[in-house]
Amino acid sequence: MTRLNGTAPLHRLRYPDGHVGWLITRHSLVRSVLADPRFSARSELKRVPAPRPGADPFIGEPALPGWLVDMDRPEHTRIRRPLSGRFTMRAVDRLRPRVQEIVDDHLRAMRETGPPADLVASFALPVPSLTICELLGVPYGSRAGFQRASAVLFSLEVTAEQAAEAMAELDALLLDLVRHRHRHPSDDLLGKLVADGGLGDQEIAGLGVLLLTAGHETTAGMLGLGTLALLTHPGQLAALRADPGLLPGAVEELLRYLTIFHFGVPRTPLEDVELEGRLIRAGESVTLSLPAANRDPEAFDDPDVLDVTRRARGHVAFGYGMHQCVGQNLARAELEIGLGALVSGFPGLELAVPVEDVPLAADSGFYGVHALPVSW
């Protein structure tokens, strides 16, 4: 899709049900649409751009309670408002020492076990899982169940029945925890949402499922795939080791370069809208390609080149507008701390298998690696 940027910013797209809508790949236009309230995020109006049976229970129907990503104002604002202040840079800065402890503990265990190791199982998956569990107040002992259900939920290959069962399992887990907070108040995020009283139990549970699943799947994917990108670009890895001050910018560049949410963001215009001289009619489905936008040469010089010295702020890896990822500051902190400790603590880190043998997660809505065998 990145090649389409050289032809036009809008392209006609035929959807699996025969509907003819639009694909947008230009960076400026993607940001414009994401910030435009005339384009709805409501799930009952959405179409997916490729066959995906696992999405069928959640597309064409009203948003699940708490799933603000599938809502417009004012419902989106009502659900998101209780989270204000929970994921600000200042709030995340207070979490950094604990994230550092979690990272150090897992890298210490990996070092003590010795090479080779699967970086996904040993590090990339457990670090964000434990972090989001502690933040929300989900017992880490439940991780096997919610990680399995989450993988099913975001899989591109499961049936509608399997996805619905996974959602029901996750919803039951979070609803039980929410009801427990009524009897036993706590200082974790679930406890605070219950104490605030602004949302119903089912809404808190749904919001918890969203934060739990997206909060660990995305960061785990970035830690694994980001490490692979650095290992296959040794000059960039060497630059990062030589100057740790590059790390925050390197995280932004990896987010831009990799853009793990690769499936496309759906929007639906509520009225006729003219874009770039083309008329987008009300109801015509629009798919926004975040990877293509982040590789747009009008927005980034040499966009297909990984450059950890690049000023990559302005990318849309976290979306844009009112639906921009609420947990983006936490994700940045986890990536900065995790990659920083990995790069500095394992100077001889290398792939333990040929790069072509690394199993890529092309079967998931969030791109990444299923496993990353490394040695040092």
What are the tens digits of pLDDT across the range 245-273? 999 999 999 999 999 998 899 999 999 99
- Identify residue 314 by its one-letter amino acid code: G
Query: What are the structure tokens assigned to 337, written together?
Result: 């701390």
For the segment 222-237, what is each residue's pLDDT rounded down to a tens digit?
A: 999 999 999 999 999 9
d(CA 321, CA 35) in angstroms, rounded, equals: 4
Q: What is the pLDDT of residue 84?
A: 84
Percent of the chain with pLDDT over 70: 98
Q: Is the dihedral of CA 362, 368, 374, 376 positive or negative?
A: positive
**Spatial distance between the Cα atoms of 199 and 5, rounded to a whole number of angstroms:** 42
Residue 149 sits in which domain range? Answer: 2-375
User: What integer pLDDT is reported at residue 2 of this predicted model?
Assistant: 56
The CATH number assigned to the domain holding 69 equals 1.10.630.10
The candidate with the shortest Cα–Cα distance to 334, out of 117, 87, 121, is: 87
State the Cα–Cα distance between residues 38 and 36, nearest whole angstrom: 5
In 3-state terms, what secondary structure has residue 376?
coil
pLDDT tens readout for residues 265-319? 999 999 999 999 999 999 999 999 999 999 999 999 999 999 999 999 999 999 9
**The pTM of the whole model exceeds 0.85:** yes
Give one DSSP letter per residue of 162-196, joined into a string.
Answer: HHHHHHHHHHHHHHHHHHHHHHS--SSHHHHHHHH
Q: Could you check whether the bond before residue 65 is cis, i.e. omega within 30 degrees of 0?
A: no
Task: Inform me whether the pLDDT recorded for 143 exceeds 80.
Answer: yes
Q: What is the mean pLDDT of residues 187-198?
A: 96
Number of compact structural domains in the chain: 1
Residues 311-365 have pLDDT tens digits of 999 999 999 999 999 999 999 999 999 999 999 999 999 999 999 999 999 999 9
Q: Is the pLDDT of residue 3 over 80?
A: no
pLDDT at 186: 96
Is the per-residue pLDDT at 8 higher than 80?
A: no
What 3-state DSSP class applies to 186? coil
Inform me whether the pLDDT recorded for 7 exceeds 70: no
pLDDT digits (tens, 9 = 90+) for 12-56: 999 999 999 999 999 999 999 999 999 999 999 999 998 899 999
d(CA 116, CA 277): 56
Instruction: Label residue 43 exposed, middle or buried (CB < 10 Å: 0-12, 13-18, 19+).
Output: buried
CA–CA separation, 189 vs 191, rounded Å?
Answer: 5
| Mean pLDDT score of the chain | 95
Over range 127-149, report the average pLDDT: 94
Q: What does the alpha-carbon distance between residue 108 and residue 100 come to, in Å, rounded to a whole number?
A: 12
In the block, residue with structure tokens 């060497």: 238
Q: How far apart are CA 292 and CA 319, in angstroms?
A: 13
